[in-house]
Structure 1
């Protein structure tokens, strides 16, 4: 990461004269770290006790012992991936179901404890009788031990304790880091210091360590840091001009004293601090805000606040779920560029800003690299709006004298709805039959089979009640801020209430999921409404310009553009005619689309669609179905992504869950390109086992009946060769079957449906971008329970079939209430 930041000009060679500089984003003069004398991190962790009896059911006793590792899971209803418990060499079964507490021989875990269930005659558990295996803990513990090499790359990092990640430097006892700094007037060094707790309990813990702060060769002060908690420190430097600032750690036990210095910053106390607030309302449809014409008082306070803001009337996200949308917002680039892009928070940290993000969605957690560059990043699952504003308020209080960026994220509009009791019946009355007050997408789809007409208004009532709760909390927080504070209110995506036959988000590219609110209030701007189409990709460069910083500080080749000119009323037709790319669904097969001049193009599971948003804003009339030319949409998609959009053969099998399917495809003349389509949930797997002349060998496996798609581009012109292409399901007595020689008309018509027992392979045409950059991974074994609770992943028994292939729904848009 340091190499990337250096290349982008964020990890600067030295700290030049400025009001503030973030030392954790400034190349040091030197970093010295002693090599660890500890052996390799253990692979098995003994439960050393003490064991405490905590319950008994039907004679089976449950004993609890301290957890010897620090897992990052948020829910433990399911066994964390790669975590196993052994009694001797016998692996025990995991069972966290409260109904099964009377079953002996099982175990469960939470963040702090391991519970084992045994019969009385077995006797009280003894220390060392049980051992835990958990590879992530082994790897994390090994990561605390410096084994030589590049000390700078090893030291500069983010570190997580409980639910908070911090960015800074890991300096085990006996280390030092030094910087050449052009110290401003009335300068202080501020940082938070602590000792990271070990990732495994074996070997004890630190009793504290000392940190010396040196200005040139003089010790300005010495502070004491403790394990597991971080304390703030401020050191008056008493000098100006070019000086060397050194942080040096010292104590006796280098194997335990994992000193972490978070967000070290040299700043001028004479400079007036600037503040910026990003109010991130997850899952907020723009058309449920009074500011955008909604006829219910769902957010009256925000509506009043917006009268003094710049309101963007036609803002869209680039994807219908959180992870890609937020990566784009933070970088100003397509999410596939995440690993090679700088972020807004990194650019501001490099300039000495305090940066804090307080979030409540698992897709914004450190497991998905979303703590990257934040000085402080707190992630809990489903915190209420009141608590989120408390955390943001506390951060601003702690950094009252510093430039500060805070992101406060509201999860309340996301299923399952949990509005406080005083909002519970503001609009929603009786619950539909079979629906508990808390529910997820899978439950909703079952209830919708028989009660959709009742369910839709009920869902919107519950949604609006949660919005009203957020409105009350956010408005109270915003009223407390100085008038010079820059505030951005936005959402990552919307929500579907059966607008096109489905519910929630992540599954389609229709505008109920893509159009989002975007409101900006800044001392640089006066109130106005902007009708020009914009995207979340434009937010980061906009904020950089509002702060008077060059947008190229985020790196070259930005995809987004600053909106400051539009926000100040300067017309710019290039925005109106700009091509915007959409896509990257969480589930439901590969989908892409584009938007230009109010014409919206979609390519979904082999079928192309086109909508005129001026005449058909609800996207119910597919012009492509009536023969409209879609070439402009394809061109806009290629232009927006800056990569080829090609005509390909789409291979899409179905078959038994958890059974491998082998498929051979014969393409006369050979293959130009072939690739596996994305499935961010990682429920389905596919592999191109090899390309042998004219033959492509494919393997598929899935937890469901449906499988991931594979795309093949022939060497010869696709429509010339299609009738010669043949497909075979590998097995006894299998034979190749040729495709139909059908021209590509965008209808998604089947070119072949090869069957062998329970397995079938569908082949259609597809228009698809050639993949490039980072694949989006929306699965994480450690957080699988949290993903299931949010409805982003589901037990196989609850899985819904994906629509759009032969024999299923035709993928056409449906009117509200249609079946």
Structure 2
């Protein structure tokens, strides 16, 4: 039998050993960030020298896809492809603005860090290395296929850096042609493929609308209708610019293309034509009952997703037919979502509710399993994740993490810098700051963000606000300078509309 003295020695030894293990555990965690103790989902360099395709489905919100919980199958081919991939369920874009979000995807930095928050004037700091630049320096041939004269994907202010080829091709049906034209299929390549196919104004084929709105279209606005109304409006404002142009075969959209080509040196042409088309589009639904308008405009959006998905099916088949899926990582995401009056507005105006910032993220990796991933993620994580899969070192000062490592985001952020909106998001809580105003939502019990708990739970609100402010303070800040004062030809009315549409 043990004596009391021996028992004390044994207890002391066990206690000392336990304390030493705990101390060592925390020491290792603090010094080495714990990664080597945990088994990552994928090891660095899992797909070394693989090709990379990064697809941006502009304006596609996660909650309008069946594979993200929507009750209708708007995109069967996209969700089928997701079934062969890693599907990340809780992904937030860092902004509801196109330019801010795309630069975050390319740099692994939040908007407040990369500074590309004002269209037309911001120029990316030369010290920031973008994903195409890094891949080009590692032997990749790189392709941009998207809109060529788009101030929100500016190919003259930093977004073009690192691309070997830049081709116009903003719909999936053009992507493979551009890849073949530039001989990508015979090289190690990176292709950034963008589409505005589901962006407003939503003008799907008339015969497809009844798939998502039984009984067919209530109101059908054609693109030519919008172009005609915009033409009449702009003709009254700028008669000299239009006096020598003629409308052929009642095609007012061709007048637009001629007009934009002739005056391509001034971006106000693009802004005026875009806003002039959007006003009559949304005005067309004003006489509908509110709930009918909400359901019907969402149905038009859903139909646009469905039609884009048919084009994606052809592109996926082309990838398979060209045996690219055996050696190509495919990343599919969106820059922001879209609101359909869930919080009183439409489009993706200056708000940070989930319908505007929760986006899909689907990552296909050859010879890897498919999996639904619940971990919290941000679009800033896309760049370091791609680089890690390829076994390429990411820049030191980026904010994003490798989603296939053991690292976790305790929270993610989103900002609308020009509207002074900020949000901090965990898997459970979401705090939105609008100046001095606060909104707090419990995403587990209120995923639609309808019940503000900020007054009831002041401790949680204050804690999240402190974390947000401390984190923003510590983030790196780059000098993405303004190339010139904001264009004088944008008057106050236009500026207001740009803010309302989320672009300024």
- State whether TM-score is above 0.5: yes
Query: Against the structure 1 CA distance between its residues 643 and 608, is the aligned structure 2 distance closer, same or farther, given a 3 Å change threshold?
Result: farther
Q: 2:469 is matched with which residue: 634, 638, 656?
A: 638
How far does the alpha carbon of each residue in 1:677-722 deviate from its partner, in whole angstroms, 9 at most, with x for none? xxxxxxxxxxxxxxxxxxxxxxxxxxxxxxxxxxxxxxxxxxxxxx
Give the unaligned 5+ runs of structure 1: 1-271, 566-571, 645-769, 803-819
Query: 1:379 offset after TM fit, Å?
Result: 4.6
Task: Summarize the alignment of residues 595-614 of structure 1 with structure 2, pairs less than 5 Å apart.
Answer: 595-614=425-444
How far does the alpha carbon of each residue in 1:435-462 deviate from its partner, in whole angstroms, 9 at most, with x for none? 9875855345545654232222221121
Query: 1:297 offset after TM fit, Å?
Result: 2.3
Contact 1:542 1:563 survives alignment (8 Å): yes
Task: Summarize the alignment of residues 564-713 of structure 1 with structure 2, pairs less than 5 Å apart.
Answer: 564-565=404-405, 572=406, 575-576=408-409, 578-584=410-416, 589-626=419-456, 628-629=458-459, 630-643=461-474
Task: Tell me the distance in 2 between the aligned counterparts of 1:275 and 1:797.
Answer: 43
How far does the alpha carbon of each residue in 1:290-341 deviate from its partner, in whole angstroms, 9 at most, with x for none? 2112222211111211111000000110000111111111111123443132
- Paired position in structure 1 for 2:195: 410
How far does the alpha carbon of each residue in 1:224-276 deviate from its partner, in whole angstroms, 9 at most, with x for none? xxxxxxxxxxxxxxxxxxxxxxxxxxxxxxxxxxxxxxxxxxxxxxxx97321
Answer 1 or 2: higher relative contact order, Cα 8 Å, separation at least 6. 2
Task: Tell me the distance in 1 between the aligned counterparts of 2:309 and 2:473.
Answer: 39
- Paired position in structure 2 for 1:465: 303
Q: 2:145 is matched with which residue: 358, 372, 383?
A: 358
Task: Tell me the distance in 2 between the aligned counterparts of 1:319 and 1:465.
Answer: 25
1:542 is paired with a residue of what secondary structure?
helix
Query: 1:524 offset after TM fit, Å?
Result: 5.3
Contact 1:330 1:345 survives alignment (8 Å): yes
1:530 is paired with a residue of what secondary structure?
strand
Q: TM-score, normalised by structure 1?
A: 0.43
Query: Comparing both structures, which one devotes a greater share of its residues to helix?
Result: 2
1:625 is paired with a residue of what secondary structure?
coil
Task: Summarize the alignment of residues 489-638 of structure 1 with structure 2, pairs less than 5 Å apart.
Answer: 489-523=332-366, 525-551=368-394, 555-565=395-405, 572=406, 575-576=408-409, 578-584=410-416, 589-626=419-456, 628-629=458-459, 630-638=461-469
Task: Tell me the distance in 1 between the aligned counterparts of 2:339 and 2:153.
Answer: 21
Aligned: 1:316 with 2:96: no
Query: 1:385 offset after TM fit, Å?
Result: 3.4
- Paired position in structure 2 for 1:346: 133
Contact 1:393 1:477 survives alignment (8 Å): no
Q: TM-score, normalised by structure 2?
A: 0.68
Task: Tell me the distance in 1 between the aligned counterparts of 2:83 and 2:382.
Answer: 20
Aligned: 1:394 with 2:394: no
Contact 2:105 2:380 survives alignment (8 Å): yes
Query: Against the structure 1 CA distance between its residues 598 and 386, is the aligned structure 2 distance closer, same or farther, given a 3 Å change threshold?
Result: same
Structure of larger gyration radius: 1
Query: 1:432 offset after TM fit, Å?
Result: 3.6
Q: 1:300 is matched with which residue: 72, 76, 96?
A: 76
Contact 1:317 1:492 survives alignment (8 Å): yes
- Paired position in structure 2 for 1:54: none
Task: Tell me the distance in 2 between the aligned counterparts of 1:800 and 1:526.
Answer: 43
Query: Against the structure 1 CA distance between its residues 374 and 325, is the aligned structure 2 distance closer, same or farther, given a 3 Å change threshold?
Result: same
Query: Aligned-residue CA RMSD in angstroms?
Result: 3.4
Contact 2:92 2:412 survives alignment (8 Å): no
Query: Comparing both structures, which one devotes a greater share of its residues to strand?
Result: 1
Query: Against the structure 1 CA distance between its residues 782 and 343, is the aligned structure 2 distance closer, same or farther, given a 3 Å change threshold?
Result: farther
Task: Tell me the distance in 2 between the aligned counterparts of 1:507 and 1:459.
Answer: 19
Query: Against the structure 1 CA distance between its residues 393 and 456, is the aligned structure 2 distance closer, same or farther, given a 3 Å change threshold?
Result: farther
1:459 is paired with a residue of what secondary structure?
helix
